Structure 1
Amino acid sequence: MKNSPLLILLLFTSLSLSAQQERKVDSKITNVTVFLNKAQITREVKTRVEAGKTNIVVTGVTSQLDPQSIQVSGKGNFILIGITHQQNFINEFNYPPSLQRLKDSLDYVEKQLIMENNQKEILTKEEQLLSSNQKIGGANQNLTVAELKAMMDFYKARLTDILTAKIKVDEKLKKLNETRAKLQRQVNEERDLFSRNTGEIVVSVSAEQQTNVDLELNYVVQNAGWYPVYDLRAVNTKSPVQLNYKANVYQATGEEWKNVKLKLSTANPSQGGLKPELNAWYVDVYNPVVRQLKGRARGVSMMKKAEADMEVTEEEVMAAPAASLAEHVTTVQTSVNTEFNISLPYTITSSNKPTLVDIRKHDLKANYQYAVAPKLDSDAFLMAKILGWEEYSLLPGEANVFFEGTFVGKTFIDPNQIKDTLAVSMGRDKRITVKREKLQDYTSKKLIGSNQREAYAYEISVRNNKGEAIQLVVEDQIPVSQNSQIEVSVIDTANAKYSKDNGKLTWEFNIQPGETKKMVYKFELKYPKDITISGL
């Protein structure tokens, strides 16, 4: 059967209309919500499509994303048909400006190396040429003394210039090689973050006519998260403690979060949101005979917690900045999590090092007292007992402690282990003198019948050399027996609070400037003479 021209035209038109158009577009990251582990990225896409069906290919997306988390919404006279995700193993991420600058610097250094090596080769050739032409004049030609001296001076001067120039070239080559090695290491480190295969999100749309398309893409990525760090600052013992709540935000996704609206969330998607269900707990008589189990116990599939810790090198900030990002952060308490919205645009580079972000500042009421355990350390420590910390959604994290403008040390805040009061050591105070010594006059060892008796006495003296009265807590201990053959008798606690469970002695008192207080406590041990005591 012959095909008519009209039928061929209709068939061609039908195939043309049904052909799927493809448009590759760029996008911009506008919002990022960073969880404790993972992050949610929001991208904006603006383009224009023709009538019919079009595959909008959003390129340059990280390959670290979770395809199941992709969500797309849009504005315009079109219909969303479908969403797919694919990997592009050919194209790489466009290098960011920082990496491009490193590559340009490396290229420049390598060109300099080529030039210097060429210069060295020219000098070497000239040196060889002079060395191979040392015959002055012909065999039968006689030179005057003046001509011979002039020729020798020429050779000497030129060879000296050549050797000097080669030394300078070698010095330049050494420095250039060192610079090239450093740049190459840095480029390799940066390139590792950006040279992975890229992802592409394909959004299929259908439009009746040519129209503008505004899309918003959301997806969750791995290799990103944040963890808290704190600064605890106190001016003196009469001031509140300032808590600076900060976050170390990290991401190694290969994407640049440049001037984005940043939100930090205490949620952890890696832990999953499904409630586990208890199955029946069966017990039975143990039977060593190997049996084939019938049936299977049902369980709940839970996501494993991803590793978020990074080796980082962080410099200590010894003084608070004049202006803080914390002033531009609002806190939103949801039913299950806390979110910190940062109003100023923020940039988080894809790097192996975290970026420090100020979250909030709080002035917390604190009671100050000194504490000392002279058996372990004769120095007294200033302790700040902070109240009302529960309101601020603190997470476990390391804290830098500052007192009177000086860095004191580090501590760890774990809200899960703290009760009503958060106790923080603010450092040592050498102006409080503490001494603990065994009193030999009251220490004895006697054998009575089949039993050995040992008596001990210790004196603790405390002197306040400060110009103000202080509250002081002194801690010591009496041994606790772990064997029924050993009896521990408390003779005198010197009015201390005594705990029989752990043998702890606690004195708490006010001591005036220049005042000295002394406490003497005594105890006795009784045990069979034929055993040896450990722990004394």
Structure 2
Amino acid sequence: MNKAMICFLLLLSSPVIAQKQKTVDSKINHVTVFLSRAQIEREVRTQVEAGKTDLIITGLTSQLDQQSIQVAGKGNFIILGITHQQNYLSELNTPRSLRILKDSVEFFQKQLLIEQSQKEILNKEEQMLLSNQKIGGTNQNLTVAELKGMADFYRTRLGEIVIARMKHDDKIKKINERLTKVQQQIQTQNELYTRNTSEIVVSISADAPATVQLDVNYIVANAGWQPLYDLRALNTKAPVQLNYKANVYQSTGEEWKNVKLKLSTANPNQGGLKPELYAWYLDFDQPIYRGLQGKASGVRIKSAAPAMAMDKEEDAMEPPAETTADFVSTVQTSLNTVFDIALPYTVSSSNKPTLVDIRKQELKSDYLYSVAPKLDADAFLMARIVGWEELSLLPGEANVFFEGTFVTKTFIDPNNIKDTLSISLGRDKRIVVKREKLKDFSSRKAIGSKQSDSYAYAISVRNAKTEAIKIIVEDQVPVSQNTQIEVTATELNNANYTQETGKLIWEMTVQPNETRKVVYKFDVKYPKGKIIPAL
């Protein structure tokens, strides 16, 4: 036997060393929630033997973006590769709340079976009594007392059976109603948890037994947050307090339990690559427009870990209860804002959002009244807020409170706000405003082939309050959209006049029990025989 054959036989006889596999548990520690989607950060701790090992991280949502997976490790080992795979045989871990509901279904089903069985026993007994109504034999004569006794027995027992059956029917009905409600609740949650899972397989190599610590993060869909605001003003001398909140939602099937939560104003769905503008070609047959084109981009997030700043005020009175907003620090990155919540937070996988307090901020404000008597004779108290640009506000709904009472809902859109954010705080009936047409100064006269109409209006403002007020009065003169119609403002009483829109604004201070009055006049000239409906 030659040397080559001996080596071949030795190879065949030697055992094949397969790469080991180990299923490991992981825990969610940090979650960064974007406006759409979220980044999950998990931690894995385990022990491995020498050699190559595939660590299988199980129980992950199937909705994770496999291209976003990042793994970093600590320990004496080498990360050889990362793969992602779906597991269609295993479902997400059922939460305790869902397990309780399923136990309730089993309990109600047993109760339902007992009641139905009891009812069936009564039915059998009733059938037995009805089928044995023949009293005595055919040649046997019964006394009146015996007949009466048997009749009383049948009447009493059949009556008891009817009443007992009605009670069982009532219990069955109530059990079925409760069972239906629980099953509906289970069906709602099952949509979140009866899903296949996915797994991340991390291949590592170690020269000796080692302790492995892995930090795994990835992006998931079906998660995000929406801004919500509370604007509170105690009175017209106090600053406006802005409560910045977030409705955080996720239906990934994973439970974010006691995790460090960050809210980012970034939106990975929008992509991060600048679109390229290509040539716009024209032809006689058909113009072709090749517009803005871009490529989808991945987002890799590197979160900062700033120190938390907390402001505490000493007060002789008992301090108000703290909220999550007292434990949030704001980090301004190069492109976005991140709100880092120091307290552990739990966000359940649900169809309902979780409300999170982000921050509280007092805003410098001044208060004045505003009225447009052509549309509404009531004066509205307005808070004008400055310095809002530093708050990184996003478009969202706002609840407005004044003097501890809910006033209205409004919508804050920072993209359409200039220097001042104006918030309406409600009507004040103590400001009496009246607008009337002055007939003595309104007339119509003919000038050649045209006619000229003169209009005059007076607006009076009476302050029935015990303190002076600032008020803005708004009105308008018409704007012509036809060259044959000429509009001339003849008297504006020192109003701020915007000719393009015809808007008139007077800003005045009215003392207590004082009445201020403004008058404005305008002429409209147009061809005879024409009718202008708006006048």
Q: TM-score, normalised by structure 1?
A: 0.91
Q: 1:287 aligns with which of 284, 291, 297?
A: 284
Which residue in 2 is equivalent to 1:43? 42
Distance 1:512 1:299, change over 3 A: closer
Distance 1:31 1:430, change over 3 A: same
CA distance, structure 1, for counterparts of residue 444 and residue 122 of structure 2:
91
Distance 1:290 1:396, change over 3 A: closer
1:449 CA displacement: 4.6
Task: Report matched runs for 1:325-344 at 5 Å.
Answer: 325-344=324-343
Corresponding residue SS for 1:72: strand
Which residue in 1 is equivalent to 2:477? 478
1:466 aligns with 2:461: no
1:465 CA displacement: 1.6
Which residue in 2 is equivalent to 1:300? 294
Corresponding residue SS for 1:178: helix
1:531 CA displacement: 2.2
Structure 1 stretches lacking a partner, 5+ long: 306-319
1:14 CA displacement: 4.1
Between 1:272-281 and 1:461-470, the stretch displaced more is 272-281
Corresponding residue SS for 1:193: helix
CA distance, structure 1, for counterparts of residue 182 and residue 125 of structure 2:
33
Deviations, residues 96-127 of structure 1 (Å, cap 9, x unaligned): 11111111112211222222222222222222
Distance 1:52 1:432, change over 3 A: same
Which residue in 2 is equivalent to 1:403? 402
Deviations, residues 334-361 of structure 1 (Å, cap 9, x unaligned): 1211111111100001111111111111
Task: Report matched runs for 1:237-248 at 5 Å.
Answer: 237-248=236-247
1:299 CA displacement: 4.0
Which residue in 1 is equivalent to 2:354? 355
CA distance, structure 2, for counterparts of residue 58 and residue 468 of structure 1:
69
Q: Is the 8 A contact 1:442 1:457 kept in 2?
A: yes
Deviations, residues 348-388 of structure 1 (Å, cap 9, x unaligned): 01111111111111111101100011111111111111111
Task: Report matched runs for 1:176-215 at 5 Å.
Answer: 176-215=175-214
CA distance, structure 2, for counterparts of residue 6 and residue 220 of structure 1:
51
Structure 2 stretches lacking a partner, 5+ long: 300-318
Distance 1:277 1:148, change over 3 A: same
Task: Report matched runs for 1:387-426 at 5 Å.
Answer: 387-426=386-425
Deviations, residues 307-356 of structure 1 (Å, cap 9, x unaligned): xxxxxxxxxxxxx9832111111111112111111111000011111111
Corresponding residue SS for 1:143: coil
1:456 aligns with 2:455: yes
1:10 CA displacement: 5.5
CA distance, structure 2, for counterparts of residue 12 and residue 412 of structure 1:
78
Between 1:378-387 and 1:112-121, the stretch displaced more is 112-121
Corresponding residue SS for 2:416: coil
1:430 CA displacement: 1.6
Deviations, residues 5-62 of structure 1 (Å, cap 9, x unaligned): 99767545440x2x02111122111111111111110111122222222111111000
Q: TM-score, normalised by structure 2?
A: 0.91
Q: Is the 8 A contact 1:271 1:304 kept in 2?
A: no
Which residue in 1 is equivalent to 2:434? 435
CA distance, structure 1, for counterparts of residue 287 and residue 494 of structure 2:
65
1:455 CA displacement: 2.6
CA distance, structure 1, for counterparts of residue 501 and residue 473 of structure 2:
16
Distance 1:193 1:239, change over 3 A: same
Which residue in 1 is equivalent to 2:257? 258
CA distance, structure 1, for counterparts of residue 510 and residue 12 of structure 2:
103
| Residue identity opposite 1:349 in structure 2 | S
CA distance, structure 2, for counterparts of residue 215 and residue 101 of structure 1:
34
Q: Is the 8 A contact 2:395 2:414 kept in 1?
A: yes
Which residue in 2 is equivalent to 1:267? 266
CA distance, structure 1, for counterparts of residue 470 and residue 490 of structure 2:
27
1:447 CA displacement: 4.8
Distance 1:297 1:525, change over 3 A: closer
Distance 1:9 1:24, change over 3 A: farther
CA distance, structure 2, for counterparts of residue 412 and residue 345 of structure 1:
30
1:281 CA displacement: 4.5
Which residue in 2 is equivalent to 1:314? none
1:422 CA displacement: 1.0
Distance 1:302 1:202, change over 3 A: closer
> Percent same amino acid among aligned pairs?
64
| Residue identity opposite 1:191 in structure 2 | N
Aligned-residue Cα RMSD (Å) equals 2.5
| Residue identity opposite 1:405 in structure 2 | G
Which residue in 1 is equivalent to 2:302? none
Corresponding residue SS for 2:294: coil
Which residue in 1 is equivalent to 2:316? none
1:400 CA displacement: 0.8
Aligned residues: 515
Which residue in 2 is equivalent to 1:29? 28
Distance 1:138 1:7, change over 3 A: farther
Deviations, residues 278-312 of structure 1 (Å, cap 9, x unaligned): 33455x5x412799x9xx9994314699xxxxxxx
CA distance, structure 2, for counterparts of residue 146 and residue 447 of structure 1:
118
| Residue identity opposite 1:160 in structure 2 | G
CA distance, structure 2, for counterparts of residue 85 and residue 74 of structure 1:
17
Corresponding residue SS for 2:414: coil
Between 1:335-344 and 1:524-533, the stretch displaced more is 524-533
Q: Is the 8 A contact 2:268 2:298 kept in 1?
A: no
Distance 1:149 1:9, change over 3 A: farther
CA distance, structure 2, for counterparts of residue 297 and residue 340 of structure 1:
36
| Residue identity opposite 1:503 in structure 2 | G
| Residue identity opposite 1:255 in structure 2 | E
Q: Is the 8 A contact 2:119 2:168 kept in 1?
A: yes
Corresponding residue SS for 1:390: helix
Corresponding residue SS for 1:416: helix
Which residue in 2 is equivalent to 1:87? 86
Which residue in 2 is equivalent to 1:317? none
Distance 1:12 1:94, change over 3 A: farther
Which residue in 2 is equivalent to 1:312? none
Which residue in 2 is equivalent to 1:345? 344
Which residue in 1 is equivalent to 2:379? 380
CA distance, structure 2, for counterparts of residue 484 and residue 181 of structure 1:
71
Corresponding residue SS for 2:145: helix
Task: Report matched runs for 1:208-223 at 5 Å.
Answer: 208-223=207-222
1:520 CA displacement: 2.6
Corresponding residue SS for 2:335: coil
Corresponding residue SS for 2:63: coil
CA distance, structure 2, for counterparts of residue 146 and residue 6 of structure 1:
112
Which residue in 2 is equivalent to 1:161? 160
Corresponding residue SS for 2:352: coil
Corresponding residue SS for 2:467: coil
Q: Is the 8 A contact 2:276 2:292 kept in 1?
A: no
